Amino acid sequence: MPSFVEERSLAERLKPRMAVEEQFVRTGRKFRSKSFIFRHEDVLITPWLKLGLRAVRLYSRGLHNATHPVIRRLTLDFADLPAAFDGFEILHISDLHIDGVDGLTEVLVPMLAGLRPDLCVITGDYRFQDEGPCEEVYRRMRPIIGSIRAKEGVFGILGNHDSAEIAFALEDMGLRMLVNEAVELHRGHASIWLSGVDDPFDFRCDDLTGALSSVPPDRFKILLAHSPQLFEEASDGGVQLYLCGHTHAGQVRFPFIGSLRHNADCPKEYSFGHWKHGNMHGYTSAGTGCSMLPIRFGCPAELVLIRLRRHAHSGACGNEK
28 Cβ contact partners less than 8 Å away, ≥ 6 residues apart: none
Q: How far apart are CA 205 and CA 167, in angstroms?
A: 14
Q: Which pLDDT value is given to residue 317?
A: 60
Q: Rounded CA gap, 270 and 283, in Å?
A: 8
- Give the residue-averaged pLDDT of 50-68: 81
Q: Are 249 and 271 in contact (CB under 8 A)?
A: yes
Question: What is the model's pLDDT at position 132?
Answer: 87
pLDDT at 52 over 80: no
User: Is 192 within 8 Å of 219 (Cβ atoms)?
Assistant: yes
CA dihedral 94, 95, 99, 105 (to 10 degrees): -30
**Under a CB-based contact definition with an 8 Å cutoff, are residues 237 and 255 in contact?**
no
* Cα–Cα distance measured from residue 192 to residue 115, given in angstroms and rounded to the nearest whole number: 22
Considering the domain delimited by 69-320, tell me its CATH architecture. 4-Layer Sandwich (3.60)
pLDDT(273) > 80: yes
At residue 25, the pLDDT reads: 85
Mean pLDDT over the full length of the chain: 90
Mean pLDDT of 284-290: 97
Find, among 87, 68, 145, the residue nearest to 112 by Cα. 145
CA distance 3 to 26: 38
> What are the pLDDT digits (tens) for 26-49?
887 666 655 444 444 564 466 656
Closest Cα partner for 196 from 184, 188, 206, 186? 206
Is the pLDDT at 131 greater than 80? The verdict is: yes
* Confidence check: pLDDT of 114 > 70: yes
Residue 107's pLDDT is 98
pLDDT of 320 higher than 80: no
Residue 313 has pLDDT above 80, yes or no: no
Q: Apex CA 265: angle with CA 70 and CA 209, to 5°?
A: 95
